[in-house]
């Protein structure tokens, strides 16, 4: 045992939770990413945006091991995922959680059982301890205690998101992946979910990788935003800096009709800088 902090490298420098160098992703002859570079720093909320087909979900799926890189290097907590041993990969998996766009809950299980599932898989805790922790995560996600006994089909859209979040938090991750967390939610529900993510990120020191189309979310809770276009990350910066970009897609996204509507909404609610 070296005695080094698990987030530090050999010389004591902090290792980024995510480091991507020269990533290539493709399906057959169709290239999605080429020479894509991205570093996500510890404790930040990074928003990831891009047009349809830009490969946002492909990027996330590659990072979490659902798709093998076709080139380049992807490191999680300093470990190259392509060369990680099974034991190392299992250890890495315990350090991140994922909220998929549709929740991806097991329909035959209750919310409590869904949240408990990762604990049964990755820990040696007793059944009583596991369900006690599951109840804690359900409360942490903002769901009422009664929700634990419900099946996914009995939940509203917002409750499904929170149940999926509770499961993502089950193993006390350091890194949280969110795929369109506010899609399908009304503005009030979306704002409440943004506030929840911001509070959890701050209180638990989470690093958050968030794919989203929601401009309000980008302005409300991100530290930086990575823009996918032209098969790579064309810009990474705080959202207010991206408003002044000359890239055509970025200009259209932030200064087009939806961007102007979001700006007006922020002005009305007093959220503009």
- Enter the DSSP assignment of 14: B
Average pLDDT over residues 37-51: 96
Instruction: Return the percentage of the chain with pLDDT > 70, whole number.
Output: 89
Residue 3: the pLDDT is: 38
Pairing outcome for strands 45-50 and 207-211: parallel
Quote the distance between the C-alpha of residue 235 and its chain's center: 18
Q: How many helices (H) and strands (E) does the chain have?
A: 10, 10
- CA–CA separation, 83 vs 75, rounded Å? 10
What pLDDT, on a 0 to 100 scale, did the predictor assign at position 114?
A: 95
Residue 15 DSSP code: P
Token couple for 11: 């010389």
Q: How far apart are CA 86 and CA 101, in angstroms?
A: 27
pLDDT in the model for residue 263: 60
Query: Does the pLDDT value for residue 38 go beyond 80?
Result: yes
Q: Inform me whether the pLDDT recorded for 76 exceeds 50.
A: yes
List pLDDT tens digits, range 99-116. 987 768 899 999 999 999
**Adjacent-strand bridge partners of 178:** 99, 210
Least confident of 16-25, 122-131, 180-189: 180-189
What are the pLDDT digits (tens) for 148-171? 999 999 999 889 999 999 999 999
Residues 82 and 20 sit within 8 Å (Cβ to Cβ): no
pTM above 0.85, yes or no: yes
Residue 11 has pLDDT above 80, yes or no: no
pLDDT, tens only, 213-263: 999 999 999 999 999 999 999 999 999 999 889 999 999 998 876 665 666
* pLDDT computed for residue 260 by the predictor: 59
Query: What confidence score (pLDDT) does residue 1 get?
Result: 32
CA nearest to 232, candidates 11, 3, 23: 23
How does the average pLDDT of the chain come out, rounded?
Answer: 89
- Structure tokens belonging to residue 65: 């091991």
Higher pLDDT among residues 21 and 258, named by residue: 21
Domain ranges of the chain: 106-172
Residues in CB range of 74: below 8 A, 6 or more apart: 18, 19, 20, 23, 62, 63, 80, 81, 82
């Amino acid at each position: 045992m070296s005695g080094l902090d698990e987030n530090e490298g050999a010389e004591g420098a902090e290792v980024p939770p995510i480091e991507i160098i020269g990533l290539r992703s493709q399906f057959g002859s169709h290239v999605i990413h080429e020479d894509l570079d991205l570093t996500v720093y510890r404790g930040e909320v990074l928003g990831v945006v891009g047009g349809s087909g830009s490969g946002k979900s492909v990027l996330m799926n590659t990072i979490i091991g659902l798709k093998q890189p076709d080139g380049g290097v992807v490191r999680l907590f300093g470990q190259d995922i392509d060369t990680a041993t099974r034991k190392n990969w299992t250890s890495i998996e315990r350090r991140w959680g994922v909220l998929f766009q549709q929740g991806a809950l097991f329909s035959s299980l209750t919310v409590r059982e869904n949240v408990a599932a990762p604990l049964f898989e990755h820990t040696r805790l007793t059944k009583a301890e596991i369900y006690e922790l599951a109840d804690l995560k359900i409360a942490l996600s903002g769901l009422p205690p009664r929700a634990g006994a419900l099946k996914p089909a009995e939940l509203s859209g917002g409750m499904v998101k929170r149940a999926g979040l509770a499961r993502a938090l089950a193993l006390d991750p350091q890194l949280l992946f969110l795929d369109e967390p506010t899609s399908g939610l009304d503005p009030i529900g979306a704002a409440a979910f943004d506030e929840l993510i911001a509070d959890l990120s701050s209180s638990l020191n989470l690093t958050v990788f968030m794919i989203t189309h929601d401009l309000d979310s980008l302005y409300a809770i991100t530290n930086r935003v990575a823009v996918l276009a032209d098969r790579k990350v064309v810009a990474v910066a705080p959202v207010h800096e991206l408003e002044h970009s000359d890239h055509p897609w970025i200009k259209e996204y932030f200064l087009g009709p939806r961007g102007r509507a979001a700006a007006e909404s922020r002005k009305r609610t007093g959220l503009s800088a």
